[in-house]
Structures are given as structure tokens and as C-alpha cells.
A and B are shown apart, each in its own frame.
Chain A
Amino acid sequence: MDSKALQGLLGDKAVIADPQELAKYRVDGITPQVVVMPENAEQAAEVIKMANRDKCSVVPLGGGTHAAIGGRLKSADVVLSTRRLDKTIDMDTANLTVTAQAGVRFGDLQDLLAGLENRCYFPIDSDLKETAEYMCSGRDYKGAFIPLDPPSPFDATMGGIVAANTTGPRRLGYRLVRDLLLGVRFVSPTGEIIGTGGKTVKNVSGYDVSKLIIGSQGCLGLVLEMTLRLWPMPENTGALLAAFKDLDAAKDFCDAVLGSKLLPMALELMDATALGLSPVKELELPDGGFAVAVDLAGFNEEVAREFKDLKEMAAKAGAAAVVEFDAMRAKAFWMVLGENSITQTSARFKASYPLSCYGEFMAAVAGLGLGGKLGASISTGNGVAQVYLLDEVEPREAARAGEALRNKALELKGSVVLEHGSPELKELWDPWGPMPHDLGLLKSVKNQLDPAGVMNPGRFPGGL
């Protein structure tokens, strides 16, 4: 694509065409011809229109934590960075909604929300109009948050989280993007600015287009801006970690928790390698043992009761060791675990299967015999496993591991997809595999919306 024309459109500083600089934006082994950083929706739309005219491919880029997700790109002519779409548009604490642009970092937004006086609201008068002076509730803590748990929150951008559909261990008590996204604005693959949804919690006006954008990995449009639901900050939080001598004991504990009325935010079963990605040093894991991390949040009485019950359950399941974390240490634990799962791994797989099969899946992971090079962290209440290959694993070995995991998942009526991996791995092994969704329908949707195949060609299932 003509970088002069792009400079004319966006300004010199918003266009990178210097080969040395461009090399830093390699994606799936391809160096783009140009990197652009539009500062508003209209500019972004214009870039995509130009790409349609010039038959160029466009690769959206947020924080880069999931830049190597999905199938291998067939081409990457223009990398479109959302870096300058970084404005927080509306934080409406009384309605518990937030609207932000795609390039806003998740962690920054959470910090802003945590400091908000969301205890306050404008009462209405007898004329049903909001009065000028606000009232504040009696609660002695403030703040709201987005109940999502993406790894590497200070790198991950809001747009990237929606496009890659990311969350983490706290998916059990928190929500998924699909449960929180109330509205989204995006540029369609043909360059129109499309808006859907808004600030209302319920909305069935027209098709639920936002669902199509979640997890679309940049193949069906460029996310510009979104509105998400918020939760009020919980009164109390904490976490409990327990070590077990083997998988059976750890599973007994998880099953006891799942069968109880407790409402933990996470119930994460981890092998030694996955635990090694966390900052925990004080939990002695027996050889061949497993750890379970339980995250708690709620009112003081709830959290106290949960700690008490969990300790009893852990003891009953024969826990070798138990560690309790207060709010600060719990936060640090999840943060570092997520961060390291991104920075210290060469490949990441996400497995899904019916949720009662988690023990069988973990046993299969352990049976791969990759020892300290492979780690699994399983969200037991969700039927989801994150499997990490540490840095030193060769692509061929990674492909074999991926295939073995996939075969196991398929046997359980589930799936394994690649969330991060090298181009070499993607050549050796299909990052998607058999999909639960009908491929013909997906193809038909992609062809209708992106007839020129401009957006992230090759990344979608089936090489679309």
C-alpha cells in the first residue's frame, strides 16, 4: 500500500515505513509493508477502505499479547495499531458501565475504575429529575471493576481482549466477554463504521452483532470502541492455595468445592510447571503433586465462611499444605501467573471440554511425559484448560504435544486451539483443528462480510 497516501491521510508520525522499525512488527513471520496508527474511527475506516481498493491485507494490533493467535496469516501488508485509540470515553458508575476505545490498556482502565467514587448517585426529586447534589452510600470502600481476568493486563488492550476473547482463571466467578459486552463500534472489513448495542444491560434490537465480533480475531472487523458492564468492588477478597500429593487427592478437593454451595471466583488446578509460573514460594508441592488455587471475593461474611469451609475440605482431601492469601497477595499471585504465562512460554493451547472431564484431561497432560517443559492450568468449574509450553520446546515437539492434547479433547467431545505459537508450529500443526461450529456457515459469513479477504487472511478456522 502506498505509504505516501497513508501519510497524507494520517500524518507522518502515524505511519511507519522504515524497514528497521517495521521488523519489530513482524507477525507470524511476516514483516508488514507499513504500520499505521490512526487516531480516530474515521481514519481507521479510511485505511480499511484503501486496503480494499488496493487489495491489501490488514492486521489489527493491540497490546500484542495474542498477536500470534489462530491460523497462520497468508499475508500482512498493513499492521493497524490501535495505540492511539486510547481514550476512556465514559465511566458511568451509577449505571455500572464503562465505554473505552480499543487501545486502552485493561490494567490502566481497572486502576481508574478502582479509584472511582461509585458509592454515589444523584437522587431524583418529586419531578423525577436528577437533583444537583449527589448522595453517597454508607459503604466504606469504593471502586468498580470489569469482571474479566486477561493475562498480562497492563499490555492487553480492550480491543484485543474482545477480539481474542480472553479471560483467565477467574472466569469461574467473573464473566466471559460475551456476558459483559453491551455494545461495540467497529470498522467492518469493507470500511464502514458499524455500531451495535449501547449502555443498556439488555438489548435485543437487531442481530446481536457484538457476539460475532467477540473472538473474531480481527477477521471480521477492527474494534474501535466498546461498552462493558461493571461490578462494584467486592468488600473483601483473598485466595487459598492447597498442595496435594497426587491428582486424585487434588480432584477430590475440587469436586468437593464444585459440589458445595460456595461461589469461588477461581478453582484452578495446576501442575508443578504451571505453579512454577506463579510467584508462590512457600507452598511445598510433593513430587508429582498438584496445586489448587481458589480465589474468593464477596462480602466479609461470605469470604470468611469460604475460607473456613475450604480449609476443612482441603484437610479432608488430604492436602499436604495450605496457604492463605489476603487481598494484596491474591492479586499479586494471579497477576504474576498471568504475566509469566505470556512472557515465559513459546506456545499456549486452550482446551475446552465438558467440565466434568477435567481430571481425565489433566491425567492426559501428565501422560505426555514432557515433564518440566509443559504446564497445565485448568479452570475446573468451566471445562477449560490452558496448556503452556515453556521457551525451550522445539516446534516439532510442540506439534506432537498439540496433537496429543487435541486427540484427547476430541475424545471428550471438546477441542484444542492454539492461542500463541510460532509460524513453524502453525505450519506443522493446524492451530484450529475440527471446529464445533459449522465451517460452511463460517465461510459464508466471512465471504459476505469480507469479500476481498482483507482482514487477517488465514487466521480464521479453515484458513479463511
Chain B
Amino acid sequence: MVSPELVQKFEEIVGEGNVLTSEMELTLYSYDAYLKPSKPDLVVLPDGTDQVARVVKLAYDNGLPVVARGAATSLSGGPVPLKGGVVIHFSRMNRILEIDPQNRTATVEPGVITLDLQNAVAKYGLQYAPDPASQKTSTLGGNVAENSGGPHCLKYGVTTNHILGLELVLYDGSVVNLGGAMHESPGPDLTGLFVGSEGTLGIATKIIVKLIPQPEAIKTMLAIFNTIEDASNTVSAIIADGIVPATLEMMDSLVIQAVEDSVQAGYPRDAEAVLIIELDGLQDGFERLTKRIMEICHENNVRDVKVAKDNAERAALWAGRKGAFGAVSRLRPSYMVCDGTVPRTKLPEVLKRVVELGKEYDLPIGNVFHAGDGNLHPLILFDQRDPGQLEKVEKVASEVLKICAEVGGTISGEHGIGMEKLKEMEFIFSEDDIGFMWKIKRAWDPEDRVNPGKVLPVLTQ
């Protein structure tokens, strides 16, 4: 419980109406797209770096932890205030401060919605490449915290590859800058270390992103397969042909059905797998490449392969993929999405073991995956209201990650560790590895005040 006097002090910083304390409000800020809520003591809505710094300082002086929050589309509990304290919500800091087409950078506040930035820079013939499926609601601050991925990361890399500079508020309210508008900053890459630290090293208040030119041409294809192995072999064959598409996305039959029920993307309901293949770049050579990809699909027994003729058709093909997570909620009220990543050639084997797990535990599992970069998202469907279900689901999810680790993969490709996968960290890291990360944490946040309880498991020794 926070005293009324302290609430008033927060109000003095951010203004009346920008500190939320009612039971209902605290409940609303207690969860993200993961499954376990925890309530903050209060929520503040600052406007500007200075206010954030003063809020953090006040929290620090009063022994309260701070947790930054964007749109909370995160899938591993990143913005959930596990130990209470102050949630700093960035809904008021949602301005695009500058788009500099000549230097190919943009400077934004953390609350800017990813798609808003993408639309804003498109006018200049530029793009901000990372495209998490939640881009319609996710914020840049959240993308930085989680190092979000997305379908186009196969070619363009994840969020970290597009972040040039940051302004941060550290644990005690001090403000520091990392990097800048330069595309290559000298010295050790502290910016890169911060990206993906899930809000545990500090709070980003300004973000400088790299923009890249839009490609001259885009070709999107949808290939429909009767078996998963044909689709998987097509992926391998395309890459063996020396072609690295911008995206190679796959969905299995359960997801196809759910998508058709919700957005009617035009995927046949009896298909076992669909593959979205997108090329981008110079238009010269596209004709030959498209023909070659179609040939490869046919060599691998494709049932049908369509090429989107225009932007509308392209959007329709993508609507299914982007809406996939939302669509499956038609089948069951809750789902847990796993985020294992494996060397790409291990995908089919892992997929098979995931399907077997689902059967063993009697849980439907749908699969959406970034086939080109070995990132799989098994969606375990269940009903959280049924007693005991959540525990069972967590067990299956943990086993999926174990399988990924066993074949040389990792436990999170783009969703983060958060509070979800703390105990699975030992699948891939030694105590020394985790101890090293703790030293980094202490260098940035010596008293564990910023988003405590996330990412790093407590070592017993």
C-alpha cells in the first residue's frame, strides 16, 4: 500500500489524473499476454523524460520497484509488476519526435505504436523493418525491451539491428544516452546490450531507429501443401538454391482452420500446411526467381501456389498470418504460445515431437512458425477456467523448450524470458553464464529496482 501523501507526490510530478490507484485500474495494469497477473501499487502516466526521471527517483527514494509498460502485447510477462511498485505506462509519450529522411533515422518516444511509425516513414519511401505480428498495437519501447522479431527478420534482422541510439532513465532517476544518429557508433555496444533486456536494465525514454529504403519490388506467394514435410523440404530447397527470401512463414492445419474461421484469408481448410514466401529487392531477376520458386514448390508436391497480383491480394495473404494468434482464441479461450528456436534444419523433427506431446497430454497444439529462421510458435490451446489445466500446459510448454534446447536451439527466439521461462534458463545456460548476466544487471541496477524478478533466475550459491 502506498500512502496518500506519496500518491500526491507522484501527482505533483505527472499531474492530477495521471496517477492511477483504484482497484480496477491496478487490475487492468496487472497482466500482459502471458498468463499470470500481479498488481502494481500504483500506475503513473508521465509525459517527457524529465517526469520519468523524477518518478523513478521518487520511487527509488521510497523503496518501490519500477516497471515500464507499453501496450503489454508481450508474451512472457515482461511488464507485469511481479513485486508490485510503480508501473510507468507510456500512453502519453507516443510522439514521433523526428523523421530525418536524409540521415535515414527517426527519433521516437517509447509509447509510439510500431505500425504508426511504419506508416509515417513510408511517406518518405523508407521503412522501419522489424514487423512483429502485434505491430498494430505494440509500442517501440516494448519492441526495444523485448528485442521483438517478426516475419521480415529473416532478411532484415530483429529490432536490435535497427536501433541506433537510446535515452535511458536508470534505476536512481539519472538520465543517460547511448549511441546516437550514427549508423555505427564507436566503442562497446551498450545500446545492443540494452535491447532485449526486458526492461530490467533501465527505462528507454527516447529511441533512435534506423530506417532503410523500401524495396523496389515485392513478390508474395502462397504455397499450399498436403503434408508438413513437403512444405519443410520446400523451405530447404529454396535456401539451397541460393535464394534468401524476405520471409518464409508456415502455418499448420489447426491454425489454417482457425484463420479461415476468423479472417477468411483464402487458405484451403483441408491443407496440412501453407507457406508464405515473400521476395523483395530489385525487380530485375524477379521473374526468373519467382518461376524458380514455383518450380521448387512443384518438385516438392505443392498442391497449389498463388502469386499475389497486387497490394490488396498481398494484404489478404498476410492477414491470415498476422491474425493467427487472435484467430486461435476462437477454438479455446486461452492459449500459451511457445517461442522455441532451433537451427532451421531441425524444425521438422522438433515439430513432430511437439505434435506427439500434444497427443500425450491431450491438448490441441497449433503451429505458426518463421520457417526460414527456425523459430517455432506452438500454440497450446486450453481453458484456464478448468482446474489443473494451466499447470499441465506449463509442463508441456517447458517440455517443448527442452526439446528445442536438446537439438541445439534456444528457449526464446523473440518473446523473451520474462517471468515465464526463468527455470528453463538452465536448459541453455550454466551457472557461470547466468552469474555473468547478474554482474551486468548489477552494473546497471545495483539494487535490483528496475523490473525485478525477470529474465535472470536467482542463483542458489
Contact = CB atoms under 8 A, between A and B. Distances in A.
B24 interface: no
Given A121-B236, A436-B179, A220 B282 contact: no
Contact of A202 (B177, B185, B341, B408): B341
A299 B184 contact: no
B412 A205 contact: yes
Contact of B188 (A94, A201, A215, A383): A215
Nearest to A418: B186
B139 interface: no
Nearest to B201: A207
Interface string A162-193: 00010000010001101100000000100011
Contacts of A444: 443-444
**Those 6 A-B pairs whose CB atoms lie nearest each other, nearest first:** A211-B192, A301-B285, A438-B176, A261-B216, A201-B373, A202-B413
A353 B182 contact: yes
A344 interface: no
B95 to A, nearest CB: 21
Contacts of A127: 352
A124 B351 CA distance: 12
Contact of B189 (A214, A234, A235, A356): A214
B184 A435 contact: no
Interface stretch (B55-63, B226-234, B309-317): B226-234
A445 B443 contact: yes
A120 interface: yes
Contacts of B233: 123-124
Nearest to B156: A179
Contacts of B122: none
B240 A441 contact: no
A203 B160 contact: no
A208 B181 contact: no
B161 A94 contact: no
A19 to B, nearest CB: 34
Interface string B57-80: 000000000000000000000000
20 contacts: A121-B237, A121-B345, A123-B233, A123-B237, A126-B229, A128-B351, A128-B352, A188-B436, A195-B433, A196-B433, A199-B409, A201-B154, A201-B341, A201-B374, A202-B374, A215-B187, A234-B242, A383-B184, A444-B443, A448-B442
Contact of A449 (B176, B239, B421, B436): B436
Contacts of A171: 184
**Taking each of B187, B228, B343, which has the highest tally of chain A beta carbons within 10 Å of its own beta carbon?**
B187
A437 B351 CA distance: 43
A263 interface: yes
- Categorize the interface residue count of chain B: 35 or more
B435 A192 contact: yes
A208 B190 contact: no
B182 A415 contact: yes
B197 interface: yes
A350 B183 CA distance: 13
Contact of A207 (B146, B161, B193): B193
B337 to A, nearest CB: 14
**Taking each of A96, A357, A436, which has the highest tally of chain B beta carbons within 10 Å of its own beta carbon?**
A436
A209 interface: yes
B287 to A, nearest CB: 8
Contact of A448 (B154, B181, B428, B439): B439
A442 B417 contact: no
Interface stretch (B3-11, B44-52, B84-92, B100-108): B100-108
Given A355-B103, A383-B103, A200 B436 contact: no
Given A129-B349, A301-B285, A204 B183 contact: no
Contact of B240 (A118, A353, A442): A118
Interface string A62-97: 000000000000000000000000000000101111
Contacts of B191: 211, 437
Contacts of B444: 441, 444-445
B213 interface: yes
B333 interface: no
B428 to A, nearest CB: 6
A203 B410 contact: yes
A20 interface: no
A302 B281 contact: yes
Contacts of B430: 195
Contact of B229 (A94, A128, A209, A216): A128
A94 B187 contact: no
Contacts of B165: 436
A164 to B, nearest CB: 11
Interface in A384-434: 384, 413-415, 417, 432
Contact of B196 (A141, A207, A432): A207
A119 B408 CA distance: 23
Nearest to B375: A202
Contacts of A126: 227, 229
B402 interface: no
Contacts of A232: 239, 242-244
Interface of A: 92, 94-97, 118-130, 135-139, 141, 165, 171, 175-176, 178-179, 188, 192-209, 211-212, 214-217, 219-220, 231-235, 261-263, 298-302, 304-306, 350, 352-357, 382-384, 413-415, 417, 432, 435-438, 440-442, 444-445, 447-449, 460-461
B149 A202 contact: yes
A170 to B, nearest CB: 14
A175 to B, nearest CB: 8
B373 A202 contact: yes
B434 interface: yes
Contact of A356 (B103, B416, B417, B442): B103
Nearest to B372: A201
A461 B430 CA distance: 31
Interface in B390-427: 408-417, 421, 425
B215 to A, nearest CB: 7
Contacts of A211: 160, 189, 191-193, 195
Given A121-B240, A298-B285, A352 B437 contact: no
B83 interface: no
Given A130-B345, A202-B153, A356 B102 contact: yes
A175 B162 CA distance: 12
Contacts of B374: 95, 200-202
Contacts of B104: 355
Contact of B186 (A179, A350, A441): A350
B177 A119 contact: no
**Taking each of A123, A216, A414, which has the highest tally of chain B beta carbons within 10 Å of its own beta carbon?**
A123
B443 A448 contact: yes
B187 A432 contact: yes
A177 to B, nearest CB: 9
B253 interface: no
A415 B414 CA distance: 32
